[in-house]
Amino acid sequence: MANTETSLKEAMSIIEGATGVALVDYTSGMALGTLGGGKDFNLEVAAAGNTDVVRAKLRTMEHLGLKEEIEDILITLSGQYHLIRLLKSRGGNGLFLYLVLDAGRANLAMARHQLRRIETELEV
């Protein structure tokens, strides 16, 4: 099992095109850990904003009576992919991994696969 810091470092080092990663509590909007980003991309602000995305989707699913679980939410921009992966591992309730990818360098299918594996090893 890996802690937050180890998991974030692994995501940045093994996922091709990763430019930022965060572990976020969507009940509070707080980032529990971040790595990457920079002065042009504030991961704390992005993490807080994406809690609204997660909450809205969960609320919509509830209104629709959908009993399925969200695996990930993908937002594609012209030059970036933003991947939100809700944690299902023990202790991960209310948390998500947020990954920012350079669309020109990333393999989205492989990034999803690697983020899923990182999630299974993360112990919060």
- Residue pair 57/64 in contact (Cβ under 8 Å)? The answer is no
- Top CATH class of 4-121 equals alpha beta
Residue spans per domain, the chain? 4-121
> What digits encode the pLDDT tens for the residues 58-98?
999 999 999 999 999 999 999 999 999 999 866 568 999 99
- Residue pair 5/122 in contact (Cβ under 8 Å)? The answer is no
Whether the predicted pLDDT of 52 surpasses 90: yes
pTM comes to 0.93
Any idea which residue has 């309730």 for tokens? 93
For the stretch 3-17, what's the b/e string if a residue is b when 16 or more beta carbons lie within 10 angstroms of its beta carbon? ebeebbebbeeebeb
